Amino acid sequence: MDSPLRFRDDEPVADPAVTVDAFAAQTNATAVRIEPGDDARALLPHLARIALVEVEFNSFGDGRGYSSARILREHGYTGELRAVGEVLLDQLSHLRRCGFDSFAPQAPIDRAAAERAFATWPQVYQKTVDGRTPIWALRHG
């Protein structure tokens, strides 16, 4: 696989990602992979030692990964959050809004196209975890 598209400045994590079930037992693991059916909240006790979370999209139509990502960010996770699998260009802006900052799509997407996708929305209606100021806050300064 091509190296992931990363939008963060730190060094990539070299460790292989382990499953959510294995992660709790492997106290030296720093990278974990969330499958669509996994409960992201199971990772909350371990956030301090996690440097990379991969969220698997088996199908682009399965939106559970968006909630998983947002939950992790809402609880203060600051490490790398990577969308893996069937990740398509037209999903990137929403994925970014839910806290993903790294992408490993099955079919490669080039960096310039990804950056254009992030810029799809001039403003946003919702407060999420990407730090963007929602329109309602802009209206009421």
Partner 1 sequence: MYKYDTYDQAMVDARVAEFRDQTARRMAGDLTEDQFKPLRLKNGLYLQLHAYMLRVAVPYGTLSGTQMRMLGRIADKYDRGYGHFTTRQNIQYNWIKLDEAPDILADLATVEMHAIQTSGNCIRNISSDHYAGAAADELVDPRPYAELLRQWSSFHPEFDYLPRKFKIAVIASETDRAAMKLHDIGIRIVRNETGELGAAFYVGGGMGRTPMIAPLVRGFVPLDQLIHYAEACLRVYNRYGRRDNKYKARIKILVHELGLAEYTRQVEEEFAQMSALGLEPPTAELDRIAGMFADPAFETGLSDQIDRSDPDFAVWLDQNTHAHKITGYAIATISLKPLGGIPGDASAEQIAVMADLAERYSFDECRVTHAQNIVLPHVRKADLFAVWQALDAAGLASANLDLVSDIIACPGLDYCSLANARSIPVAQKIAQRFSDLGRQRELGELKLKISGCINACGHHHAGHIGVLGVDRKGTENYQLLLGGSEGADTSLGKITGPGFDEDGIVDAIEKATDVYLARRDSGERFLDTYRRIGVEPFKEAIYG
Q: Which residues bind partner 1 (CB under 8 A)?
A: 36, 39, 60-64, 66-68, 70, 74, 88, 90, 93-95, 97-98, 120-128, 134-140
10 versus 74: smaller Cβ distance to partner 1: 74
What minimum distance in Å lies between the beta carbon of 95 and partner 1? 8
What minimum distance in Å lies between the beta carbon of 134 and partner 1? 7
**Closest listed residue to residue 126, CA positions, set 98, 91, 101:** 98
User: Please, are residues 124 and 132 in contact by the beta-carbon 8 Å criterion?
Assistant: yes
6 versus 62: smaller Cβ distance to partner 1: 62
> What are the start-end ranges of the H helices in 2-81?
20-25, 64-74
29 versus 33: smaller Cβ distance to partner 1: 33
What minimum distance in Å lies between the beta carbon of 20 and partner 1? 14
Name the strand (E) or helix (H) holding 5: strand 5-6
CA 127 from centre of chain: 16
2 versus 90: smaller Cβ distance to partner 1: 90
The Cα–Cα gap between 60 and 106 comes to 11
What minimum distance in Å lies between the beta carbon of 27 and partner 1? 27
| The pairing of beta strand 102-105 with beta strand 80-85 | parallel
